[in-house]
Amino acid sequence: MNLMLFGAPGAGKGTQAKFLIEKYNIPQISTGDILRAAIVEKTDMGMEAKKFMDEGKLVPDSTIIGIIKDRLAESDCKEGFILDGFPRTLAQAVALSELMSNMGISLDKVISLNVPDELIVGRITGRRVCSKCGASFHVEFNPSKKEDECDYCGGELIIRKDDNAETVISRLNAYHDQTAPLIDFYTKMGVFVELDGTKDVSEVTADMLNALS
Ligand code: ADP
Ligand code: ADP
Ligand code: ZN
């Protein structure tokens, strides 16, 4: 199963990806997580990407497409994968189509989690992420069982540097200007499914699994 989770920053893609990993036993490919790992490792790519991320701007397509090309070639992607936060531009979407067609595979579904902008700021400012596995929690809407500790791996929960009210605005602008045009692209491809992302986490999961069955 080759899936993509689509939606604004903070729509719940990472949260729902965790359930798909368990259900289908396929890896989540989050370009955001890969970039943050490169920043921790202080690679050249990470240091370059950091400038864009801290400002809430998209990292250049060439960098992102290179990351995805390498990642899809890894052996754990053979049975499928869950794309999370990629593609975010038309150029990335076209590159993905080309890559997948060269691999002889295609996208089964693009699941869009629809959440209006007014709700996004609260989601992002209350987000806590695991410093070890990247799992996402929310202080109010989706709290971890133990404060500051990841339910999945026990890692420490932290606030992402870009999760503040100022960058949210530019990230939402980037979403509407550069990413939203993909809705048309994937609708025409016949794989686009829209879900109400404002429901509770468990209800969104149920709707998503229903859409995939
Ligand atoms: P969120 O879902 O909250 O926006 P992500 O972890 O997906 O967070 O992305 C964090 C940042 O990483 C983005 O604001 C952007 O700077 C960069 N990034 C992640 N994925 C991409 C991508 N596919 N194209 C360009 N930039 C990306
Ligand atoms: P994305 O990967 O799309 O950027 P996340 O999965 O990290 O988004 O979710 C953003 C924030 O919103 C997190 O704090 C998460 O716990 C919370 N969240 C996710 N899904 C829901 C939901 N259905 N209702 C309320 N809060 C949610
Ligand atoms: Zn964790």
The pLDDT confidence band at residue 146, using thresholds 50, 70 and 90, is: very high
Q: What is the pLDDT of residue 34?
A: 96
Confidence of residue 179 (pLDDT cuts 50, 70, 90): very high
pTM assigned to the model: 0.97
pLDDT digits (tens, 9 = 90+) for 17-68: 999 999 999 999 999 999 999 999 999 999 999 999 999 999 999 999 999 9
Residue 71 a catalytic site member: no
Q: Are 72 and 107 in contact (CB under 8 A)?
A: no
- Output DSSP code: residue 176: I
Per annotation, catalytic residue among 13, 109, 123, 128:
13
pLDDT given for residue 141 in this prediction? 96
By most ligand atoms within 8 Å of CB, the mutation choice from 123, 195, 202 for ligand 2 is 123
Domains parsed from the chain with CATH numbers: 2-26+79-212 (3.40.50.300)
Q: Mean per-residue pLDDT for 71-77?
A: 97
Whether the CB of 137 sits within 6 Å of ligand 2: yes
Residue 123 is a catalytic residue: no
Ligand located closest to 171 CA: 1
**The residue to which tokens 């999945």 are assigned:** 152
Which residue in the list 50, 88, 123, 128 is annotated as catalytic? 88
Q: Please, what is the Cα angle at 165 between 163 and 169, to 5 degrees?
A: 100
CB neighbours (10 Å) of residue 74?
Answer: 11
115 labeled binding residue: no
| Mean pLDDT of the residues in the chain | 97
